[in-house]
Amino acid sequence: MRWTQTLIPTLKESPVEAEILSHKLLLRAGLLRKLAGGIYTFLPLGLRALRKVEQIVREEMDRAGAIEVLMPALQPPEIWQQSGRYETAAEVLYKVRDRSKKEWVLGPTHEEVITLLVAAEINSYRQLPKNFYQIQVKFRDEIRPRFGLMRAREFIMKDAYSFDVNDEASQVNYQKMYDAYTRIFARCGLKTFPVEADTGVIGGKLSHEFMVPAETGENEVVYCEGCGYAANIEKATSGIPNTAAREIGAAVEKFATPGVVTIEALSKAPYSVPANRQIKTLVYIADSKPILILMRGDDQLNETKLMARIGAVAARPATPEECVATLGAKPGSLGAVATALERRSPDRPGGGSHPQRAGQETGAPQIYADERLRGANEMTTGANEDGFHLRNVSIERDIQVTQWFDLRTVTAGEPCAKCAKPLKIRRAIEVGHVFKLGTKYSEKLNATFLDADGARKPSVMGCYGIGITRTLQAIVEQSNDKDGIIWPLSVAPYQVCITPLNVAPDNVGMKLAERYHDELTAQGVEVILDDRDDRPGVKFKDADLVGFPIRISIGEKSLAKGEVELKPRNGALQAVKAENAVEAVMKLLGA
Ligand code: ATP
Ligand code: MG
C-alpha cells in the first residue's frame, strides 16, 4: 500500500474533544474520526487494527469450540418485554419507530435473541453443549459517552452465549471462555488481569472481568499482592474487623447539635464524637421505594453491593425533599432509632405508629445495616429532628434492622480477607466479562431441552463479552510513548513502513523502496510505502505517531555506503546492508 493512496490524516495537535491519551492518539494518528458524541468512523488504518483484534478473537473463539453466528441489531421490543428487560434495561435501550409508528429496539446485547433462537432450534440434551458467538455492533444509550471508543453509544462487541445441560457442564464452558480470554488479550499484546466481579440482580453466580490497569480506567480494582485476590471494588470485601462491641450503655439520650449536618462536624468539639462511633443514615430510592441504609460514620456505601444484596434494579440517593417525606427531617439529622422514626410527620402513613410495627403494615421504610455495625453500642446518630442527635444508641436494642449486609466500600490498606496482607487499589479498564447466568433467561424465554432422564429442563447459560473497539483503544492506552502509538506486532495496521527520502519515480532509493515493498508483501508482510513528497522529519514523525512496528528508511547518505536504516518503533536504529534489509526485517518479525 502507498501512503498517498490511502487516507492517513495525521494531526499535529490533539482535538479538544479528546480527554485521554489513547483517544488523542487515535485521532492524531488518523485512525478515527468522530461523527457525534460516542459515535466514530474508523479510517483505513484504524479499521485494519480493528480487524486484527477481531481476527484474534475469532480464532480463539473457534479454538474454544464456539460457533459464529450474526444476529440483528434491530430487535422487536416484545422480546425485551418477555425477558423483563424492557423495563430493567430501559435506560440504555435506544428505541426507534418505523413508518407505521411501530417501535423497535437497537440491541445493547443479545441474550434475548440467542435464547429465543435456542428455544426454537434446540430440543434435546444430545444437541448440547453449544456456545454461539458473534462480532457485531451494539447500541447503548450511555449516561456519559466519553473517552472515544471506551464508552461509546455505538460499539463493536464479541458476545458469546453458552447453553448446557447442567451447572457442572456450564462451568466447563465458563472455564473455556476464561482461558480463551487470557489468550486473546495476551495475543493482542495487552496486559490484563482477571478480577471477581459483581453479578448484579442475578446474584450468586460466578463472574469475572478482565481488566487493563490504567489511570484513566473507569473501574477501581482491589487486589492483594500476598495471595493474588483481586476484585472489582463493586464486589470486593476485606478482613477489616467489625466495630468493637462495647457494653450496652445507658438509655438513648437526645442532645442539641444546632447547625451540625455532617459526620465531620459532629466529630469536632464541642461534640467530639469520632466518625467510627457515629451511625450514618442514608435514604435511598430503590426501585421507586424509599429505604434506609445504616453505615458506620467512617465507611462509604457501595451502591452496586446495595443493589445486588436487595435485588434492586435501580437505586439512587433520595433528594432532601424525599428525605423529609420519608423521615421528617433533612439530611444531616436523619436517624433510624425506633422512637425517632415515630416522629415522622403525623400526616404520613405510619407516622406515629408503634415502633415494633415499623416496616410492616405501616409502610415505614426497610432498614438495611452494614455488617460492620453489628453489635455496635454507645453510638451517636441523627434524631430525625433538624438540629438534634441521639447518643447511647445500641443498634440491636434501639433500631429495627430489616437485614444485615456487607455494604461498605473497601479502602486501600485494609487487611486482605484471605491472607491479611494490606489490600491495594488501582484503576483499570474493563475489556472483557465472563458471566455465569444460570437459568434466568432460559426460563423466561423457554429455552428448555429434553434431558436423558426424559425431563424437560431449562438450559444453563453463560454469557461472555469482549469490547472489541474498547480493547483496541486499551491497547493504545497501554502501549505508547511521547512520539505516539507503539503497536504490538499482532494488531499493527501495517507491520512495516518504508520511508524513501526521495520519492522521484526514477530515484534509486525509491526503486529500492518499491522492491522492498514487493518482496516483503510477497512474504506475507503488511507494508506501507510512504511515497509522500515531504520533508524526512514530517515522514518520520508520522511513522512514529502511527506506530508501525518497523520502519525502513532509505536516504542518499546511507545508500552511498550501500546501507539502509532499520528502526524498530520500540528499539534502536540499526544500519543494514541494503541487500540484507528484507532478511533483517523478517528476522525482526520473528519469521
Ligand atoms: P461497563 O461496566 O463498562 O459499562 P458493562 O458491564 O455494561 O460495561 P458488558 O455488558 O459486560 O459491559 O459488555 C461486555 C463488554 O463490552 C465490556 O467488557 C466492555 O469491554 C464493552 N462495553 C460495554 N459498554 C461499552 C461502551 N459503552 N462502549 C464501548 N465498549 C463497551
Ligand atoms: Mg461488565
Going along the chain from its start, the domains and CATH numbers come out as: 6-237+425-477 (3.30.930.10), 253-405 (3.90.960.10), 494-588 (3.40.50.800)
Q: Which atom of ligand 1 is nearest to the CA of 431?
A: 20
φ/ψ region of 420 (left if φ > 0, alpha if ψ in -120 to 50, else beta) reads left
Q: What is the pLDDT of residues 374-410, one digit of tens each?
A: 999 999 999 999 899 999 999 999 999 999 999 999 9
Q: What is the pLDDT of residues 443-461, one digit of tens each?
A: 999 999 999 999 999 999 9
**Which of 372, 412, 472, 465 is CA-nearest to residue 40?**
472
Q: What's 193's DSSP letter?
A: E
Question: Is the backbone peptide bond immediately before 320 cis, with ω within 30 degrees of 0?
Answer: no
The protein residue whose alpha carbon is closest to atom 3 in ligand 1 is 430
Q: Which atom of ligand 1 is nearest to the CA of 145?
A: 27
Directed axis angle between helix 167-187 and helix 44-63, to 10°? 140
Ligand 2 midpoint to CA 433 (Å): 6
Q: What confidence category does residue 338 fall into, taking pLDDT thresholds of 50, 70 and 90?
A: confident
Ligand 2 midpoint to CA 209 (Å): 7
Summary count for the chain: helices (H), strands (E): 17, 31
The protein residue whose alpha carbon is closest to atom 8 in ligand 1 is 430
Q: Alpha helices of 315-390 — where are they, by DSSP H? A: 320-327, 338-342
Q: Which residues have C-beta atoms less than 6 Å from ligand 1? A: 109, 140, 142, 151-152, 155, 157, 430-433, 465, 467, 469-470
8 Å CB contact between 329 and 310: no
- Rg value, the chain, Cα: 30
**Which of 386, 391, 394, 380 is CA-nearest to residue 298?**
380
Q: Alpha helices of 302-429 — where are they, by DSSP H? A: 303-310, 320-327, 338-342, 395-398
Does the pLDDT at position 167 exceed 90? yes
Q: Which atom of ligand 1 is nearest to the CA of 140?
A: 27
8 Å CB contact between 315 and 302: no
Residues 6+ apart with CB under 8 A from 180: 60, 61, 63, 64, 66
The protein residue whose alpha carbon is closest to atom 14 in ligand 1 is 465
Does the pLDDT at position 237 exceed 50? yes
8 Å CB contact between 372 and 408: yes
pLDDT at 510: 97
Ligand 1 midpoint to CA 364 (Å): 37
pLDDT at 565: 97
The protein residue whose alpha carbon is closest to atom 24 in ligand 1 is 151
C-alpha cell read off for 506: 526514477
**Cβ atoms within 10 Å, residue 99:** 5
The protein residue whose alpha carbon is closest to atom 31 in ligand 1 is 467
**Distance (Å, whole) CA 549 – CA 562:** 24
Ligand 1 midpoint to CA 467 (Å): 6
C-alpha cell read off for 221: 480494582
Residues 6+ apart with CB under 8 A from 311: 201, 203
**If you search the block for the grid coordinates 449516561, which residue do you land on?**
143
Average model confidence (pLDDT) across the chain: 93
Does the pLDDT at position 202 exceed 90? no
C-alpha cell read off for 207: 463472574
What does DSSP say about strands 74-75 and 39-42: parallel, antiparallel, or unpaired?
A: unpaired
8 Å CB contact between 342 and 356: no
The protein residue whose alpha carbon is closest to atom 21 in ligand 1 is 467
Q: Which atom of ligand 1 is nearest to the CA of 466?
A: 15
Residues 6+ apart with CB under 8 A from 467: 155, 156, 157, 430, 431, 432
Q: What is the pLDDT of residues 493-531, one digit of tens each?
A: 999 999 999 999 999 999 999 999 999 999 999 999 999
**Which of 205, 77, 239, 215 is CA-nearest to residue 462?**
205
pLDDT at 28: 98
pLDDT at 349: 45
Within 13 Å and on the Cβ side, how many CA atoms surround 28?
26
Q: Which atom of ligand 1 is nearest to the CA of 209?
A: 18
8 Å CB contact between 124 and 449: yes
Q: What confidence category does residue 362 fall into, taking pLDDT thresholds of 50, 70 and 90?
A: low
8 Å CB contact between 423 and 124: no
Helix, strand, coil percentages, rounded to 5, for the chain: 30, 30, 40
Ligand 2 midpoint to CA 432 (Å): 7
pLDDT at 339: 63
Find the range with the poorest average confidence among 105-119, 180-194, 300-314, 361-375.
361-375
